[in-house]
Chain A
Amino acid sequence: MLKISNLQARVESKEILRGINLEIKPGEIHAIMGPNGSGKSTLASVLAGREDYEVTGGTVEFNGKDLLELAPEERAAEGIFLAFQYPVEIPGVTTINFLKTAINQIRKYHEKEPLDAAQFLKLMKEKAKSVKIDDQLLRRSLNEGFSGGEKKRNEIFQMAMLEPSLGILDETDSGLDIDALKIVADGVNQLRSSDRSFIVVTHYQRLLDYIVPDFVHVLYKGRIVKSGTKELALELEEKGYDWIKSEADALEASMV
């Protein structure tokens, strides 16, 4: 489904991703962990197409297409969804209106007829129920005045509506208490299927108790320095990142 090869990216003159290799098959959940500043969120943003980052090398293939050639909206239409770490507030645009526009633009991309108001509302009610988000919240301006938990839940709701084939959760657990975390994780788990994959970017192991990954990768200084299964996350929880840092630094030193 997704094949990242030697991906390199920078912001201004600062290199942040320095050769990422990662392959994700349908139905898999990959967790990306790592210390602060290791490039986790950059990877998520580059995959979604944020312009602030300049891709300087490598390739990303998504369902047979060259992902890096596509505009952000085309990536979304092809099935990539980024749940933001900091969802943006958009005054005056309701979540309903926003999603209706989004869904119909994606349908247009696939040369499908737009959903009419009744079809859209039916879909919305169904999905809102499944991720336990209040209808009233969706009638308000997008994310405006929402609590942290409401914003994150709204991200998961949007994901449920857009039904992507690859969901990327960028530190979705940050700033959530345990109850909010469980609700968000439940939402994600409901969306798991044999043809939908996830990349879960997180600093802490905590979220992975609820969204159980198939693979765990540790990102450090812009590279994946260790990969394993969910046990790796538990080990990191117990021992911290320092042992990985020294291992990686020693390896890099020996290569110079």
Chain B
Amino acid sequence: MSFQNIQAQFEAEFENIQKKLNGQSGSDFNTIRKESFVKFKQLGIPTVKHEDWKYSNLKNLDKIQFSFNAKSNFSKSDLDALPFSSLEGISICFVNGVFSEQLSQLGNTPKIKVLTLEAAIEQIPNVIEKHYGSYIETEKEGLSALNNALSNSGSVIVIDENYVLESPIIIRYISDVKTADIAVNIHNLIVVGKHSEAKIVEIFQTEGEKTAFSNLVTEIFVDKDAIAHYYKIQDENDQSYHVGTTQVNQEDKSYFYSATITLNGGFVRNNLNLVLNGQYIDNHMYGLYIPNGKQHVDNHTLVDHKMPNCESNELYKGVLMDSSNGVFNGKIFVREDAQKTNAYQNCRNVITSDTASMNSKPQLEIWADDVKCSHGTTTGKLNDDAIFYMQSRGIPKPEAIRLQLVAFAEDVVSQIKIEELREMLDSMIENKLK
């Protein structure tokens, strides 16, 4: 059996957490943990035999001995040295899964709560009870069940009703892997109240060259008439494993607008699942991945149209360099009641080397008859005629290629509504596409 070593490590960690509970082992929370762990043991870590994991192989995880409570001396000046550190906004920072007050700028107001999970359980128990863990699917995904069982940290962000928050809320995740291989399980909850608007940025970074295994869940509840912007930015080292699920629940007339940008990461699996639980819902999902070396980036998206008159739009773009791999799988469900649905999906990829590869699969399941749906996927090389055209005007070939790749990526980056973030991404993308 595969994954014996890593499963044993998770079991030991689970026991360890249970021992430290001090009389809370009977709480509702812990009951869910225990159930989830049983589920995880049944499901296990997915192998390539699992249809949704066909192209993404986690097998090398099993060779690593992880530390679950790795100490870190990651400081403010270390943070300042990382990209995106100057991005302004309310921020909450986790280092190796542990909340760092020193590196956060919480800025709570009566209208905005940015809390750690622990604080949220104390201060806003009703919100936790209603939403936390309510949307994530653990029945089929072993790693989501594992997250439920092991996560003992995370952020809880609540935007009250009728409030437009201009400044972004940034959740930073630093994996300090200078000395140890680490594993973290983090579970976040974001609630955007009725008629409110917020911009959430998740930024994932590593410090050091050892392995971090990050298993994350972020649940987002977008209430009626609310607008949520959600940007996930990944810039992790080549040894890292990142499995992250963003589970979104949208209510009537809400708007969800996302961009998932993978700059770097050894093994990346992003699940973005949207459940459209109301009418007149709108959403846009953008994605950009630019792997090089042996990086592997897998984006799985799912949009579940349950009710009539909703629209979803999706554009994912990839530039695959060297021996990198890309995977895109886009599921769209249009249920029987979801008449007048408009659902569009497009995945476009450019491969710049003979050894890079891309697996792209649209999956539409439509039970309603009065709908407009389209999907398309393309993977190809840059056009030689275009490169020659640029050269004939005096632009050297490498610059001609870079200019076209940057333009290709810009379609996605230009959708980001935070100018400062956009500029930071532009310069990082331009640097990487050299």
| Chain A interfacial positions (CB closer than 8 Å to B) | 48-51, 71-73, 75-77, 81-82, 84, 87-93, 97-99, 101-103, 105-106, 109, 141, 158, 162
Are B392 and A105 touching (Cβ within 8 A)? no
Hey, which chain B residues are within 8 Å of A73, CB to CB?
391-397
Complex Cα gap A171–B395 (Å): 23
Please determine whether A101 and B395 come into contact, CB atoms closer than 8 angstroms.
Answer: yes
**Chain B residues near A90 (CB, 8 Å)?**
386, 389-390, 404, 407
Inter-subunit contact A105/B394 (CB<8 Å): yes
Q: B403 contacts which of A48, A84, A93 (Cβ < 8 Å)?
A: A93
Given the interface contacts A84-B389, A87-B389, does A93 sit within 8 Å of B407 by beta carbon?
yes
Contact B396 A105 (CB under 8 A): yes
In the assembled complex, the CB of B406 is this many whole angstroms from the nearest CB of chain A, namely 8
CB-defined contacts of B396 to chain A, threshold 8 Å: 71, 73, 105
Interface residues of chain B, those whose CB is within 8 Å of chain A, are: 383-386, 388-397, 399, 403-404, 407-408, 410-411
Q: Is the CB of B389 within 8 A of A101?
A: no
Known: A93-B403, A93-B404, A105-B399. A88 touches B389 (CB 8 A): yes
- The answer to whether A102 and B394 have CB atoms under 8 Å apart is yes
Does B394 contact A92, Cβ atoms closer than 8 Å?
no
- Tell me the smallest distance from the CB of A150 to a CB of chain B, in Å: 16
25 cross-chain CB contacts under 8 A = A48-B392, A49-B392, A50-B388, A71-B391, A71-B397, A72-B388, A72-B392, A73-B393, A75-B392, A76-B391, A76-B394, A82-B392, A88-B386, A89-B386, A90-B404, A91-B408, A92-B404, A92-B407, A92-B411, A101-B399, A101-B403, A103-B394, A105-B394, A106-B394, A109-B394
Cβ A92 vs Cβ B392 within 8 A: no
B281 to chain A, nearest CB (A): 30
Would A98 and B386 be within 8 Å (CB), given that A90-B404, A92-B411 are in contact? no
CB distance from B402 to the nearest CB of A (A): 10
A106 CA to B395 CA, complexed, in Å: 8
Inside 8 A of B386's CB, which chain A residues have their CB?
Answer: 88-90
Q: In the assembled complex, how far is the CB of residue A137 from the closest CB belonging to chain B, in whole angstroms? A: 17
Closest to B385 in A: A88
Query: Which A residues are CB-close (under 8 A) to B389?
Result: 84, 87-88, 90
- Which residues of chain B have C-beta atoms less than 8 A from A51's C-beta? 384, 388
Question: What's the minimum C-beta distance from A129 to chain B, rounded to whole angstroms?
Answer: 21
Q: How near does chain A come to B25, taking the closest CB pair, in angstroms?
A: 57
